[in-house]
Amino acid sequence: MKILVCVSKAPDTTSKIAFKESNTKFDETGVQWIINPYDEWYSLVRAIELKEKDAATIVHLITVGGADCDPIIRKALALGGDEAIRVNADSNDSYYIAAQIAEVAKQGSYDLIFTGKETIDYNGSSIGGIVAELVDAPYISLATKFDVAATTATVVREIDGGEETSEVQLPIVVSCAKGVAEQRIPNMRGIMAARTKPLKVVEPAAVEALTSVVEYSLPPAKAGVKLVAADNVAELVRLLHEEAKAI
Amino acid sequence: MSVLIFVDHADNQVKKSSYEALTYGAKIAEQMGVTAEAIVLGTVSDDLASLGKYGVKKVHHIANDTLNHVDTQVYTKVIATTVTSTGATVVVFSHNQTGKAVAARLSASLKAGVVTGACALPDTANGNFIVKKTVFSGKAFASVKITSPIKVISLNPNSFTTIAGEGVAEVVTVDIAVDPSKIKVTAVNKVSGEIPLTEAEIVVSGGRGLKGPENWGIVEDLAKVLHAATACSRPVADAHWRPHHEHVGQTGFQVAPNLYFALGISGAIQHLAGVNRSKVIVVINKDPEAPFFKAADYGIVGDVFDIVPKLTEEIKKLHA
Ligand SMILES: Cc1cc2nc3c(=O)[nH]c(=O)nc-3n(C[C@H](O)[C@H](O)[C@H](O)COP(=O)(O)OP(=O)(O)OC[C@H]3O[C@@H](n4cnc5c(N)ncnc54)[C@H](O)[C@@H]3O)c2cc1C
Ligand SMILES: Nc1ncnc2c1ncn2[C@@H]1O[C@H](COP(=O)(O)O)[C@@H](O)[C@H]1O
């Protein structure tokens, strides 16, 4: 079984969110970059586990991004995976990114394509579904458990108000949420090995982006907290009822 | 031309988030001077003609049993066929679990630009189509222009108020070929009785300040009197004090209820990212320096074990 794991670069969760160039670009000054947590913690680790237990033979990583993604890809390779592919393009458009991934996926005839549940910067939850459509495979979103025996995958996924268990034949596309695996810390051997693993850079296929960000904005600041004394809980209830009209 | 709204249901009833999507989609149609129509897949016992109250003129119902489970491949084909037959140029979903599964895939099949997590009506002036969505897990917004002829958007739950008026929709039972599903569903586990977190109007959330799972009774009691959903911070879920589906924040569920109670939660930036779109935030924490107070509307500096039971009693009195 060949697995393709989609990884993307994301700003560290403590990053200050600010914009530049008349609010049209994310201000990267002082931002630390990390592997998107859903990719790092869940999909990548699960793919590596499947290889460790011989359910998978090959694990490839893919990212669509500029050369600034290379350190992140090396970090991901330090956790595991045989090689990485970087499609040399920078875009926010889900269709554009997914089409690049689908292009590589078709050429590599993968049995399983993993994405994270969402990117923590763009919050699309979109790439997996689009890739699945483009490669014409079943798509299981928001998986919380994933296993595979021969060519049958067993997946538990989140549905509104509960979960659903299903079986499906490979090839498939799966987006991974919490539960699929436990976060791992790369060890020294992994970090050394990652340095020499192949990182192929390929040029993007000609795809038209269907969306573009015209402007970013920040939520209005809160007016400030109204503190109520600890011995006057009734006053809090009154405020929530009469002033905030929230209860 | 029309706006087609995907109406999602669970346990035979239309979901609350779908009513929001209907109201939102009907407003877009009004703005563009076109009609709003709805599409319903699978069996549902609600009276579909009554969806007219939310502004849709027509409801396309495809009542095939295969559609009772969400298989994105099967759904995409059926919805895409309906988009083509109705000439819809905008398709609206709720950004709930079903929307997250289906909307993007459908967009690819229609070669339509997709914006998920919309939080306001699109700007349709001058032939543009610009949608505001949440990014950076609720820390910011992006206004995204869709340039393809067909647009697919999904609306964040709890970010648009449902308006029900008068009106009866024409219900058309559509008989189109439905592919067999390649996904064999073997079990469905619904957490019964609980209010789904993403749909809740009020959320009561507990953090490490609660000290241990045995103390969650006070959280649940408060949630009960408020008909609220319960949530928790990440370390609480990681320690298995509470189930994972209650974890809110940047790497958990993002919620935007009318009212959010943070009980014994410090207010770390990753936690705030998932809850700061709540309309009113109440913080109870014994540390006056807890960062959460800076993001709160109301607060009490005090011990949760003392304050929370009193709060429950006072709310009971209010409701009495
Ligand atoms: C990449 C990344 C992603 C993350 N994602 C998330 C996420 O999605 N969601 C999330 O929640 N966290 C997330 N975190 C963790 C986050 O940084 C914090 O560690 C976490 O939110 C703290 O949880 P807490 O507030 O329950 O616990 P603590 O920070 O330990 O706070 C407990 C609070 O309870 C108060 N307290 C103690 N006893 C009492 C009492 N008797 N009465 C009243 N108050 C009391 C204390 O004053 C304190 O403020 C993430 C971290 C990282 C690095
Ligand atoms: N630029 C990218 N390159 C590779 N994979 C990506 C990229 N962007 C998103 N993904 C994958 O798609 C998932 C969902 O992203 P999104 O649809 O943007 O929320 C992420 O968790 C990644 O696994």
pLDDT higher at A162 or B24? B24
Cβ contacts of B76 within 8 Å, gap of 6 or more? A133, B102, B105, B106, B109
Which of B254, B249, B225, B226 is closest to B236 using CA atoms? B249
Looking at residue B34, what is its pLDDT? 97
pLDDT digits (tens, 9 = 90+) for A75-97: 999 999 999 999 999 999 999 99
Q: Tell me how crowded residue A101 is: count the other CB atoms within 10 A of its CB.
A: 25
pLDDT digits (tens, 9 = 90+) for B276-317: 999 999 999 999 999 999 999 999 999 999 999 999 999 999
Q: Are B267 and B295 in contact (CB under 8 A)?
A: yes
Token output for A193 = 């090995």
Say yes or no for a CB contact (<8 Å) between B113 and A93.
Answer: yes
Chain B, residues 22-61, CB within 8 A of chain A, namely: none
**Nearest CB to A168: which of B17, B184, B244?**
B184
- For residue A223, name the pLDDT band (cuts at 50, 70, 90): confident
Q: For chain B, what is the mean pLDDT?
A: 95
Cβ contacts of A162 within 8 Å, gap of 6 or more? B188, B189, B190, B191
Looking at residue B192, what is its pLDDT? 67
Bridge partner list, B259:
B202, B280
Question: What pTM was estimated for this model as a whole?
Answer: 0.94
Cα A54 to chain center, whole Å? Answer: 25
DSSP collapsed to 3 states, chain B: CEEEEEECEECCEECHHHHHHHHHHHHHHHHHCCEEEEEEECCCCCCHHHHHHHCCCEEEEECCHHHHCCCHHHHHHHHHHHHHHHCEEEEEEECCHHHHHHHHHHHHHCCCEEEEEECCCCECHHHCCEEEEEEHHHCEEEEEEECCCCEEEEECCCCCCCCCCCCCCEEEECCCCCCCCCEEEEEEEECCCCCCHHHCCEEEEECHHHCCHHHCHHHHHHHHHHCCEEEECHHHHHCCCCCHHHEECCCCECCCCCEEEEECCCCCHHHHHHHCCCCEEEEEECCCCCHHHHHCCEEEECCHHHHHHHHHHHHHHHHC
Residue A27 burial by Cβ neighbours in a 10 Å radius (0-12, 13-18, 19+): middle
- How large is the average pLDDT for residues B166-180? 95
Whether chain B has a CB inside 8 Å of the CB on A140: the answer is: yes
pLDDT digits (tens, 9 = 90+) for B184-218: 999 999 876 677 788 899 999 999 999 999 999 99
Token output for A20 = 């530049």
ipTM rounded to 2 decimals: 0.94
Q: Tell me how crowded residue B25 is: count the other CB atoms within 10 A of its CB.
A: 30
Pick the residue from chain A with its C-alpha nearest to B113: A210
Q: Are A105 and A174 in contact (CB under 8 A)?
A: no
Looking at residue B11, what is its pLDDT? 83
pLDDT digits (tens, 9 = 90+) for B69-124: 999 999 999 999 999 999 999 999 999 999 999 999 999 999 999 999 999 999 99
pLDDT digits (tens, 9 = 90+) for B210-250: 999 999 999 999 999 999 999 999 999 999 999 988 999 99
Cα A81 to chain center, whole Å? Answer: 16
Q: For chain A, what is the mean pLDDT?
A: 96
Say yes or no for a CB contact (<8 Å) between A216 and B104.
Answer: no
Whether chain A has a CB inside 8 Å of the CB on B147: the answer is: yes
Atom of ligand 2 nearest to the CA of A64: 3
pLDDT digits (tens, 9 = 90+) for A139-189: 999 999 999 999 999 999 999 888 999 999 999 999 999 999 999 999 999
- For residue B46, name the pLDDT band (cuts at 50, 70, 90): confident
Whether chain B has a CB inside 8 Å of the CB on A214: the answer is: yes
Please tell me the distance in Å from B64's CA to the nearest CA on chain A: 19
Say yes or no for a CB contact (<8 Å) between A230 and B191.
Answer: no
Q: Are B46 and B13 in contact (CB under 8 A)?
A: yes
Looking at residue B193, what is its pLDDT? 66
Say yes or no for a CB contact (<8 Å) between B295 and A159.
Answer: no
- For residue A47, name the pLDDT band (cuts at 50, 70, 90): very high
Which element (helix H / strand E) includes A60? Answer: strand A58-64
Pick the residue from chain B with its C-alpha nearest to A96: B113
Q: Are A167 and A138 in contact (CB under 8 A)?
A: no
Looking at residue A222, what is its pLDDT? 84
- For residue A220, name the pLDDT band (cuts at 50, 70, 90): confident
